[in-house]
Amino acid sequence: MNILYRPEFIRGFGTYKLRAERLMTALEQALNVGYRAIDTAQMYENEQEIGQVLRHHPVARSELCITTKVLPANYSAERFMASVAQSLAALNVEQVDVLLLHSPPKQDFSATLRLLEQAQRQGLTKYIGLSNFSPQQMVRAREAIAAPLVVNQVEFHPLLDQSDLLQAAVATQIPLSSYCSIARGEVLKYRLIQSLAEYYARTPAQIILRWILQSGVQSNTMSSDPQRMAENFAILDFTLSHIHMQQIAELKSANYRVVMV
């Protein structure tokens, strides 16, 4: 089974924009809630703080799935491996579980994919994957290297039509993972989501996150509020009906994108 689709890892805790004490407090609370998949990146500049929390928290390293992403500025052959080694040192781990390219290489596409594959061969990461790759780039990546790519992490929520990416995920066997899962709160304003939250006796965010999972996509959420963390985690004990899944999917006509890639 794909590591990110194991029950304990299918709900990830994102750390974008969390730093210093705020990050350390939030991550400790997230681990206490039950999150075991942690998502970070060189760009977030918080790997050091994450490493400090993991060093002292009682959860065993073997129970965690740690994902980080290589900054595009480090895609050159001279900088790639050194940057990954720096990430491992900051995170206080011998290897990460998943190493991603943060965005598609603008040049030397295949060469950069081969560096990612080399990082896996050298034992710096268990698995490798992508982030922000288009359907066409997913196909190119699949053809560029032999090693399996376990994920393409992309913006994914009901207000954005990502049906082409879902089709590419099936065609390339590279599943999707979400960021901006609730569109920075924008999707929570829709009356349909509020009505379904009342119907299922859940929060609007839980409805969205459950919709993402039932769409076949691993979800990542970020919060520094312990109650919201717990709510966002508690999404495995109910199921949205097929009709409600389709109704939510129709919100894609809003064509609302948070991150321009």
Residues designated catalytic? 44
* Residue bearing tokens 């609370």: 29
120: CB partners within 8 A, 6+ apart: 99, 126, 127, 128, 147
Q: What is the dihedral of CA 201, 206, 207, 208, to 10 degrees?
A: 170
Alpha-carbon distance of 15 to 52, in angstroms, equals 14
- Among candidates 3, 2, 23, which has minimal Cα distance to 14? 23
Alpha-carbon distance of 169 to 156, in angstroms, equals 13
**Helix pair angle (47-56, 20-33), 10° resolution:** 50
The CA–CA distances, whole Å, from 119 to 39, 42, 43, 82, 188 equal 18, 15, 18, 10, 39
Phi and psi based region of residue 253 (left: phi greater than 0; alpha: psi -120 to 50; beta: remaining):
alpha
The H or E element that residue 80 is part of is helix 80-91
The CA–CA distances, whole Å, from 53 to 20, 75, 90, 191 equal 11, 28, 11, 39
Q: Does the annotation place 57 within a ligand binding site?
A: no
Residue ranges of the binding site for substrate: 102
- Please give the annotated binding residues, written as ranges: 102
